[in-house]
Chain A
Amino acid sequence: MKKYSIQKQLYLWLILLLINYPGIAQQKLFTGTINDENDNPVRNARITIKEQPGMIIFTDDNGKFNIPGEKGQILEVMTRDQHYRSLRLEEDQIVLSLNKNDALIPVGNRLELRKEELTSAIGIVRADELVKSSVINPANSLYGKIPGLTVLQNGGTNWNNDPDIFVRGVETFGIGNFINTNILTLVDGFERPLSSLSLAEIESVAVLKDAAALAVFGLRGANGVLLVTTKRGTGNGLSVDVNYEHGITKAFRLPEFLDAHGYASAVNQAHVNDGLDPLYSQVELDRFQSGSSPYLYPDVNWIDESLRDFGSGNKFSISFQEQANTVRYFAVLNYDEEQGLLGPVNENTGYNTQISGNKFNFRANIDMDLTRSTKFTLNLAGNLGNSYRPGTENDETDIFKAIYTIPSAAFPVKTYNDAWGGTSAYDNNPVGLISASGYSEKGRRELMTDFLLERKLDNLIKGLSAGGFVSFDKSFDYQDSYSRLFQYEQITPILDPVTYAITDTAETSLGTTTTLAFNSIPVSQWRRTTFGANLRHSTDWEDNKLSSMLLLQSEELIRTGRNNTFRHLLAAGNIHYSKAGKYFADLAMSINGTNTLPEGSRTGFFPALSLAWKMSDEEWFNANQIFDNLKLRASWGLSGNDQVIQNINLNAFTPGGPYYFGANNNPTGGYSEGRLASNPLTYETSYKSNFGIDASMLGMLDLTLDLFYNKRKGILVETAGSVSRVLGVDPAFSSSGIVNNKGFELGLNIYDNKGDFTYHLDGQLSYARNQIVEMLEEYRPEEYLKRTGQRINQSFGLEATGFFRDATEIADSPKQTFAIIMPGDIKYKDQNNDKTINEYDEIPIGYSTQVPEFYFSGLAGLKYTFVGIEAFFQGTANYTTYLNTIGIFWPLIANSSISNYSDDSWTPATANTATLPRLTMSENANNYRPNSIWFADASFFKLRSLELYFDLPSKIISKLKLDRMKVYARGMNLFSIDKIKIVDPEATGITYPTVSSYNFGIQIGF
Chain B
Amino acid sequence: MKRILIIISISALLIILGCEKLKIGNAFLEKAPGVDVTIDTVFSDLEHAERVLWGAYRTLRFGITVKSGSNPLESKLGNDQLEDISDLAHSKITYGGAYVLYYTGSYNAASENSNGMTKYHLTFDQGFAGIRKSYIFLQNIDRVPDVDPEYKKQLKAEARMIIAMHYADMYRNYGGMPWINRAYSAADPIADIPRLTARALCDSIVALCDKAAADLPWKIENLEEWDGRFTRASAMGLKARVLLFDASPLFNSATPYLDSEAAQQKLTWHGGYDANLWKRAADAAHNLIAQAESTGDYKLYHKDGNSFRKDFQEAYYQRGISEALISVRYMFRTPTSTGQYQFYQASWGYGCSLPTQNYVEMFPMASGKPIKDLTSGYDSTNPYINRDPRLYETVLTNGDAFQGRTAELYIGGRERLTISQARAGTGYTIRKFMLDHNTATSLGSITHWPYLRLPEIYLSYAEAINEYNNGPDDEAYRCVNIVRKRVGLDDLPAGLTKEEFREKILTERACEFGWEEVRWFDLIRWKKEADFKKRLYGMNIYRSTTTPYKYTYERFLLSPRRYWADNWSAKWYLSAFASNELNKGYGLIQNPGWE
Quick check: A647 and B34 within 8 Å, CB to CB? Answer: yes
- The answer to the question of B104 belonging to the interface, with a C-beta cut-off of 8 Å to chain A, is yes
Quick check: B22 and A569 within 8 Å, CB to CB? Answer: yes
Min CB distance, B208 to chain A, in Å?
16
- The answer to the question of A651 belonging to the interface, with a C-beta cut-off of 8 Å to chain B, is yes
Q: How many A-B residue pairs have CB under 8 A?
A: 240
- The answer to the question of A594 belonging to the interface, with a C-beta cut-off of 8 Å to chain B, is yes
Which residue of the partner chain, among A653, A659, A922, contacts B329 with CB atoms under 8 Å? A659
| Residue in A460, A568, A727 whose Cβ sees the most chain B Cβ within 10 Å | A727
Quick check: B129 and A729 within 8 Å, CB to CB? Answer: yes
What is the 8 Å Cβ interface bit string for chain B, positions 558-595, against chain A (1 contact, 0 not)?
00100000000000000000111101111010000000
Instruction: Please report which residues of chain A, range 673-732, place their CB below 8 angstroms from some CB of chain B when the two chains form the complex.
Output: 673-674, 676-677, 679, 721-729, 731-732
Which residue of the partner chain, among A455, A535, A724, A840, contacts B584 with CB atoms under 8 Å? A724
Quick check: B128 and A725 within 8 Å, CB to CB? Answer: yes
- The answer to the question of A16 belonging to the interface, with a C-beta cut-off of 8 Å to chain B, is no
| A778 CA to B25 CA, complexed, in Å | 39
Quick check: B55 and A651 within 8 Å, CB to CB? Answer: no
Instruction: Please report which residues of chain A, range 651-681, place their CB below 8 angstroms from some CB of chain B when the two chains form the complex.
Output: 651-674, 676-677, 679
- The answer to the question of A650 belonging to the interface, with a C-beta cut-off of 8 Å to chain B, is yes
Quick check: A726 and B34 within 8 Å, CB to CB? Answer: no
- The answer to the question of A820 belonging to the interface, with a C-beta cut-off of 8 Å to chain B, is yes
Instruction: Specify which chain B residues have a CB less than 8 angstroms from the CB of A595 in the assembled complex.
Output: 28-31
Query: Which of B131-139, B198-206, B232-240, B309-317 is the contact stretch?
Result: B131-139
Instruction: Specify which chain A residues have a CB less than 8 angstroms from the CB of B129 in the assembled complex.
Output: 728-729
Min CB distance, A452 to chain B, in Å?
13
Quick check: B132 and A729 within 8 Å, CB to CB? Answer: yes
Quick check: B128 and A726 within 8 Å, CB to CB? Answer: yes
- The answer to the question of B226 belonging to the interface, with a C-beta cut-off of 8 Å to chain A, is yes
- The answer to the question of B2 belonging to the interface, with a C-beta cut-off of 8 Å to chain A, is yes
- The answer to the question of A817 belonging to the interface, with a C-beta cut-off of 8 Å to chain B, is yes
Min CB distance, A643 to chain B, in Å?
15
| A662 CA to B320 CA, complexed, in Å | 7
Quick check: A653 and B113 within 8 Å, CB to CB? Answer: no
Which residue of the partner chain, among B14, B22, B193, B584, contacts A779 with CB atoms under 8 Å? B584
Which residue of the partner chain, among B25, B34, B585, contacts A646 with CB atoms under 8 Å? B34
Query: Which of A241-249, A559-567, A805-813 is the contact stretch?
Result: A559-567
Min CB distance, B431 to chain A, in Å?
24
Instruction: Specify which chain A residues have a CB less than 8 angstroms from the CB of B190 in the assembled complex.
Output: 723-724, 726-727
Which residue of the partner chain, among B48, B104, B183, contacts A820 with CB atoms under 8 Å? B104
Quick check: A664 and B225 within 8 Å, CB to CB? Answer: yes
Quick one: given A1-B2, A665-B333, are A569 and B29 in contact (CB under 8 Å)?
yes
| A562 CA to B224 CA, complexed, in Å | 38
Quick one: given A670-B58, A676-B186, are A725 and B122 in contact (CB under 8 Å)?
yes
Instruction: Specify which chain A residues have a CB less than 8 angstroms from the CB of B48 in the assembled complex.
Output: 671
Instruction: Specify which chain B residues have a CB less than 8 angstroms from the CB of A660 in the assembled complex.
Output: 228, 329-332, 448
Quick one: given A662-B225, A840-B110, are A670 and B186 in contact (CB under 8 Å)?
no
- The answer to the question of A532 belonging to the interface, with a C-beta cut-off of 8 Å to chain B, is yes
Instruction: Specify which chain B residues have a CB less than 8 angstroms from the CB of A114 in the assembled complex.
Output: none
Which residue of the partner chain, among A657, A671, A676, A925, contacts B100 with CB atoms under 8 Å? A925
What is the 8 Å Cβ interface bit string for chain A, positions 452-470, against chain B (1 contact, 0 not)?
0001010110000010100
| A455 CA to B7 CA, complexed, in Å | 9
Which residue of the partner chain, among A533, A568, A603, contacts B15 with CB atoms under 8 Å? A533
Quick check: B224 and A664 within 8 Å, CB to CB? Answer: yes
- The answer to the question of B556 belonging to the interface, with a C-beta cut-off of 8 Å to chain A, is no
| A568 CA to B420 CA, complexed, in Å | 64
Quick check: A779 and B585 within 8 Å, CB to CB? Answer: yes
What is the 8 Å Cβ interface bit string for chain B, positions 106-125, against chain A (1 contact, 0 not)?
10101001000000001100
Quick one: given A457-B8, A656-B58, are A650 and B178 in contact (CB under 8 Å)?
no
Min CB distance, B8 to chain A, in Å?
7
| Residue in A459, A655, A672, A725 whose Cβ sees the most chain B Cβ within 10 Å | A725
- The answer to the question of A313 belonging to the interface, with a C-beta cut-off of 8 Å to chain B, is no
Instruction: Please report which residues of chain B, range 14-73, place their CB below 8 angstroms from some CB of chain A when the two chains form the complex.
Output: 14-15, 18-19, 21-22, 25-26, 28-32, 34-39, 41-42, 48, 50-52, 54-58
Quick check: B29 and A726 within 8 Å, CB to CB? Answer: no
| A651 CA to B35 CA, complexed, in Å | 8
- The answer to the question of B530 belonging to the interface, with a C-beta cut-off of 8 Å to chain A, is no
Quick check: A654 and B37 within 8 Å, CB to CB? Answer: yes
Instruction: Specify which chain A residues have a CB less than 8 angstroms from the CB of B42 in the assembled complex.
Output: 653, 671
- The answer to the question of A19 belonging to the interface, with a C-beta cut-off of 8 Å to chain B, is no
Quick check: B225 and A666 within 8 Å, CB to CB? Answer: yes
- The answer to the question of B95 belonging to the interface, with a C-beta cut-off of 8 Å to chain A, is yes
Quick check: B133 and A567 within 8 Å, CB to CB? Answer: no
Quick check: A569 and B21 within 8 Å, CB to CB? Answer: yes
- The answer to the question of A1003 belonging to the interface, with a C-beta cut-off of 8 Å to chain B, is no
- The answer to the question of B291 belonging to the interface, with a C-beta cut-off of 8 Å to chain A, is no
Quick check: B51 and A669 within 8 Å, CB to CB? Answer: yes
Quick check: A668 and B332 within 8 Å, CB to CB? Answer: no
Quick one: given A569-B28, A724-B190, A923-B95, are A668 and B228 in contact (CB under 8 Å)?
no
- The answer to the question of A487 belonging to the interface, with a C-beta cut-off of 8 Å to chain B, is no
Which residue of the partner chain, among A565, A652, A723, contacts B32 with CB atoms under 8 Å? A565
Instruction: Specify which chain B residues have a CB less than 8 angstroms from the CB of A725 in the assembled complex.
Output: 122-123, 128, 578, 581
| A732 CA to B95 CA, complexed, in Å | 33
What is the 8 Å Cβ interface bit string for chain B, positions 187-221, against chain A (1 contact, 0 not)?
00011010000000000000000000000000000
Quick check: A659 and B108 within 8 Å, CB to CB? Answer: no
Min CB distance, A405 to chain B, in Å?
18
Quick one: given A661-B227, A670-B57, A729-B129, are A721 and B38 in contact (CB under 8 Å)?
no
- The answer to the question of A97 belonging to the interface, with a C-beta cut-off of 8 Å to chain B, is no
| A836 CA to B109 CA, complexed, in Å | 13
| Residue in A2, A552, A780 whose Cβ sees the most chain B Cβ within 10 Å | A552
Min CB distance, A198 to chain B, in Å?
34
Instruction: Specify which chain B residues have a CB less than 8 angstroms from the CB of A457 in the assembled complex.
Output: 4, 7-8
Quick check: B54 and A652 within 8 Å, CB to CB? Answer: no
Quick check: A657 and B58 within 8 Å, CB to CB? Answer: yes
Instruction: Specify which chain A residues have a CB less than 8 angstroms from the CB of B183 in the assembled complex.
Output: 728
- The answer to the question of A571 belonging to the interface, with a C-beta cut-off of 8 Å to chain B, is yes
Which residue of the partner chain, among A1, A655, A781, A838, contacts B6 with CB atoms under 8 Å? A1
| Residue in A568, A662, A728 whose Cβ sees the most chain B Cβ within 10 Å | A728
Quick check: B54 and A658 within 8 Å, CB to CB? Answer: yes
Instruction: Please report which residues of chain A, range 722-755, place their CB below 8 angstroms from some CB of chain B when the two chains form the complex.
Output: 722-729, 731-732
Instruction: Specify which chain A residues have a CB less than 8 angstroms from the CB of B25 in the assembled complex.
Output: 569, 593, 603
Residue of A nearest to B104 (CB): A820
Quick one: given A563-B34, A650-B38, A659-B54, are A460 and B8 in contact (CB under 8 Å)?
yes
| A591 CA to B29 CA, complexed, in Å | 14
| A841 CA to B223 CA, complexed, in Å | 56
- The answer to the question of A25 belonging to the interface, with a C-beta cut-off of 8 Å to chain B, is no
Instruction: Please report which residues of chain A, range 540-563, place their CB below 8 angstroms from some CB of chain B when the two chains form the complex.
Output: 552, 554, 562-563
- The answer to the question of A839 belonging to the interface, with a C-beta cut-off of 8 Å to chain B, is yes
Quick check: B34 and A562 within 8 Å, CB to CB? Answer: yes
Instruction: Specify which chain B residues have a CB less than 8 angstroms from the CB of A571 in the assembled complex.
Output: 18, 22
Residue of B nearest to A1 (CB): B2
Instruction: Specify which chain B residues have a CB less than 8 angstroms from the CB of A729 in the assembled complex.
Output: 129, 132
Nearest 9 CB-CB pairings of A with B: A670-B55, A728-B132, A552-B18, A728-B128, A779-B583, A817-B106, A647-B34, A660-B329, A670-B54
List 25 A-B residue pairs with CB atoms under 8 Å apart, sorted by A's residue number: A455-B11, A565-B32, A591-B22, A647-B35, A653-B37, A660-B329, A662-B222, A662-B225, A662-B227, A663-B446, A668-B54, A670-B57, A676-B186, A723-B190, A723-B191, A724-B193, A727-B132, A727-B184, A728-B132, A728-B180, A728-B184, A818-B106, A819-B104, A820-B104, A836-B108
- With A659-B55, A673-B132, A721-B584 already in contact, 12 other A-B pairs whose C-beta atoms are closer than 8 Å: A457-B8, A552-B15, A603-B25, A655-B37, A658-B54, A661-B228, A662-B319, A674-B35, A728-B180, A779-B580, A819-B100, A922-B94
User: Which residues of A come within 8 Å of B, CB atoms?
Assistant: 1-2, 276, 455, 457, 459-460, 466, 468, 532-533, 535, 552, 554, 562-563, 565, 567-569, 571, 591, 593-596, 599, 602-603, 646-647, 650-674, 676-677, 679, 721-729, 731-732, 778-781, 817-820, 836, 838-840, 922-923, 925
